[in-house]
Structure 1
Amino acid sequence: MIIRTLHARRLRRRLLADGVLPGHVAVVMDGNRRWARQVGLDDPSLGHRHGAEHLQDLMDWCEDIGIRHLTVFVASADNLHKRAGTEVLNLMDHVERIVVPRAVGSARWRTHAAGRLDLLPDTTRHALELAEEETRDRDAGFDLTVAVGYDGRHELVDAVKSLLDSGKSIDELSATLTPDDIARHLYTAGQPDPDLVIRTSGEVRISGFLLWQAAFAELHFCDVHWPGFRYLDFLRALRSYSDSRGRR
């Protein structure tokens, strides 16, 4: 433990001294149930609670290192359709009781929601909308985007629909359409694209997460399950990013 702590301190100093740091990190927080089974918890769904609580650590790490934009993938639209109803309700309860209060309670952060909020229970949707409203006008230096009920392909469909409803004719759109036009209609409009996408739990795929936005992001896959993701793991992901961008 002491050796790990010393290594983390040295790595942090190196990154702050001469590293190339991302301005926006996105995280697929995967492996909550597998972590619960791994540590011997009787109820695997308790992993979701530990995972939700661990978000505060990630926010603190971003503050410490100076990463001002953070997006976290809490649940996909596919998760909401395929998982058992009790598990989904349990997860949404953690969003309402842990994720949102801690996000709102962190005075240095603004909160944003991304996804098909119409798929969420009314109480969860209301909690996220209220979090956005309460933090929108904060003089805060950090932005947290919570992706829940999210699907990158559906986001693009919704963006195109929104464009078509903007009042321009099909011919006019066809003649003038640019990538920036589409970006302005995404769920994440107004936020910068991620520089680094981290996925925990050993899965080497992005599962529809930020398909448009992450087109030029560095991807980092970590074998550690999300609740067990340590500060040292985070710093190693930043080092991987820095080394990759530094070579360019």
Structure 2
Amino acid sequence: MNQPTINTENLPKHLAIIMDGNGRWAKQKGMLRVFGHENGTKAVRETVESCARLGIANLTLYAFSTENWNRPKMEVDTLMKLLVSSLKKELPTLQENNIKLITIGNTSQLPDSARKQLAEVTELTKTNNRMTLTLALSYGSREEIISAVKAISEKVKDNTLAAEDINESTINNHLYTHSLPDVDLVIRTSGEQRISNFLLWQIAYAEFYFTDVLWPDFREKDLHEAIISYQKRERRFGKTSEQIQ
């Protein structure tokens, strides 16, 4: 039986992935959680390259949430070191594939070494235009929305914005993701089925795909299965099937 193929005319314009299961993957192998995080970088590389080859314009990866700061210090420190080493290691891949790197989140909380490396890679890739890779780092959607509300409130207070003029575009323009389109497809690995404070505003009409595959085992075939599932769905955006047709 022939496997269904991906329709490159119907790709998600913005794919977001909650990369879950590193710790469980390591535990299954009798290793420390950090071993799972280290192996998860291989899945990141393959997924990024696969998305670029397919022609997906925007890929956002949930790399570190605001809640993740509450994890054991050793694990957080290792994750930060891994972030720095991965950015250095993956810069040639980003350049070869013409991929632009940006970040969203409260990155001021990151260690100096991580902020410095992020700034360097962001600067070196800023003119790349094949795909935008967004890393959600020290990111929480509620914090993002609170930040947007505060910024808008200041404009109303200063009389540079009228309250009655506030609309969806106003909110969008004050979010970390103001340069990105809404999310079309969210993938979450490891079998968990929740959002975990990720892009709550931006996923209003996104499709969801949950897989039991743990993130370090996620490969191109798994990505393709998710996209094929997405392409089989009818996206109605509140309308009826008859209206869409």
Residues 1:137 and 2:146 are matched in the alignment: no
Q: Is the 8 A contact 1:104 1:135 kept in 2?
A: no
Distance 1:104 1:208 in 2: 32
Q: 2:216 aligns with which of 218, 221, 227?
A: 227
Q: Is the 8 A contact 2:43 2:219 kept in 1?
A: no
Provide closer, same or farther for how the CA distance between residues 166 and 129 of structure 1 changes in structure 2, counting only shifts above 3 A: farther
CA deviations on 1:39-85 (whole Å, 9 max, x unpaired) are: x25322111011123211001110222112100001100011x1011
Q: TM-score, normalised by structure 1?
A: 0.87
The Cα offsets for residues 171-204 of structure 1, whole Å up to 9 and x where unpaired, read as: 9431110111111111111111111000001110
Deviates more, 1:158-167 or 1:197-206: 158-167
Cα distance in structure 2, aligned partners of 1:165 and 1:103: 38
1:108-127 alignment runs, 5 A limit: 108-127=98-117
Change (3 A) 1:209 1:142: same
Whether the aligned pair in 1 keeps the contact of 2:87 and 2:118 (CA below 8 Å) is no
Q: Which residue of 1 aligns with 2:7?
A: 16
Tell me the residue number matched to 1:3: none
Counting matched residue pairs gives: 235
- CA drift at 1:162: 2.2
Matches within 5 A, 1:1-248: 10-11=3-4, 14-16=5-7, 20-38=10-28, 40-80=29-69, 82-99=70-87, 101-103=89-91, 105-107=93-95, 108-138=98-128, 140-166=129-155, 169=158, 172-245=161-234
Q: Which ranges in structure 1 are unaligned for 5 or more consecutive residues?
A: 1-5
Q: Could you tell which deviates more after superposition, 46-55 or 83-92? A: 46-55
1:30 and 1:129 mapped to 2: Cα distance? 26
1:20 Cα deviation after fit: 2.8
Change beyond 3 A, Cα 1:101–1:173: farther
In structure 2, distance between residues paired with 1:166 and 1:125: 29
- Quote the Cα distance in structure 1 between the aligned partners of 2:7 and 2:160: 50
C-alpha distance in 2 between matches for 1:234 and 1:33? 21
Change (3 A) 1:20 1:201: same
Residue identity (%): 35
Q: Determine the C-alpha separation between the residues in 2 that align with 1:135 and 1:104.
A: 10
Q: Within 2, Cα distance between the matches of 1:243 and 1:130? A: 40
Deviations 1:184-235 (A, max 9, x none): 1111111111110000011100101001111110011111110111222111
